[in-house]
Amino acid sequence: MRIFLFTILVCYVLTGAAQESAGLESSSGISDTEALRVSAPDAAAFTVDNLGNLYMLTSKGLLKKYNNRGDSLNVFNDVRRYGSVCAMDVTNPMKVLLYYRDFSTVVMLDRFLNRINIVDLRKAGIFQAKAVALSYDNNLWVFDEQSAKLKKIGDDSKLLSETVDLRQVLNAIPSPDKIIDRDGFVYLYDKDKGLYIFDYYGALKNELAITGLTGLQVINKTVLGRKDNKFVKYTLGTFDMQEVELPEMIKHAEDIRIMQLGIYVRNSGGIALFKYR
C-alpha cells in the first residue's frame, strides 16, 4: 500500500514536467526492478542532467560521466586541483559546474568534461559561499555570506547584479547549502532555516519554513525532498504539505534524484534507476 501511495504521489508531482515528455505523460507508477545500474562502490556523490546523463564523483577524486544506458563516456581526473568539490551543477549539460568552496573557485567543463573556464569568486569580493548554481542565462548565482546578498557573477568573475543586504529584510540570515534556478525564480535552501525564493531581479518573493530536507529539488513550482524515511512534497502557493513513507527500494538510499526518466538511487553498491511505467 505504501509503495502504491508513493508512486501515485510521484506521478502527480511530475504531471507538469510530463506534458513536455511523452514518456512520462501516461505513467501510472514506478517499476520495482532496476532499469539501469552503474556499479560504483566508490561513489561519493552524483547528479543527473535532463538528458539522463549521470555524473559520479568518486572517493578517489574522479568525475565520471555515463550516458542514459550506463555506458562510460568521459572522465575528468583533475578534480582535486582546488581541493574538495563542494557542489556540482549540471543544469546545462554543455556547461558542467564544479564548485570548490575552500578556494571560492568554480571550474566549468564542457560536455566532454574538458575544462573551459575557471571563475575566481574572490575577484568579485566573495570569500564565503556554501553554494553556487548556474543561472538561466549561463552565469552564476552565489550567496555571499559576508555581505548577506544573493549575487550574479559572470564568466569573467565580475559582479553583474546583487540583492539588497538581506539583514535589512530578514530576521534570520540564511546560510544556503543549495541554490536552484527554476521556473523564473531562484530558490535558496537552508536546511535549518527554510526556503527563500527570489525573482530574477533580486526581490524576495517568499520565505517558507520547510526545514530538514535532503535532496531538495523544485519541479513545476513544487518542492520535493526527503526527510528521514519520508518523501515530502509541497506545492508553492498552497498550504498542502504531503509526506509519504518511502518504499524499501528507496528508503535506505544514501541519496536520490527524481528526474523525468525516473528515480535515481545511490547506495553502497552503486547507482540505480527505477523507471516510471
User: Is 226 a member of any domain?
Assistant: no
12 membership: H or E segment, kind and range: helix 2-13
Terminal-to-terminal C-alpha distance of the chain: 17
Is the per-residue pLDDT at 12 higher than 80? no
User: Is 156 a member of any domain?
Assistant: yes
Nearest 10 degrees: Cα torsion 225, 228, 229, 233? -30
Dump pLDDT digits (tens) for 129-154: 989 999 999 999 999 999 999 999 99
**Using 50, 70 and 90 to split pLDDT, how confident is the model at 30?**
low
Q: Specify whether 89 is located in the same domain as 168.
A: yes
Q: Specify whether 267 is located in the same domain as 150.
A: yes
Q: Which residues pair with 223 in a beta bridge?
A: 218, 234
The count of C-alpha atoms lying within 13 angstroms of the C-alpha of 31, restricted to the half-sphere facing its C-beta, is 15
Residue with cell 537552508: 190
Dump pLDDT digits (tens) for 71-107: 889 999 988 888 889 889 999 999 999 999 999 999 9
Q: Specify whether 14 is located in the same domain as 51.
A: no
Q: Specify whether 16 is located in the same domain as 49.
A: no
Measured on CA atoms in the order 40, 45, 47, 53, is the torsion positive or negative?
negative
Q: Specify whether 59 is located in the same domain as 89.
A: yes
Q: What's at 4, amino acid-wise?
A: F
Backbone angles phi, psi at 8, to 5 degrees: -65, -40
17 membership: H or E segment, kind and range: helix 15-18
Domain containing 2 equals 1-30
Contact 92, 138 (CB under 8 A): yes
Amino acid 229: pLDDT: 80
User: Is 121 a member of any domain?
Assistant: yes
User: Is 271 a member of any domain?
Assistant: yes
User: Is 246 a member of any domain?
Assistant: no
Q: Specify whether 170 is located in the same domain as 54.
A: yes
User: Is 239 a member of any domain?
Assistant: no
How many domains in the chain? 2
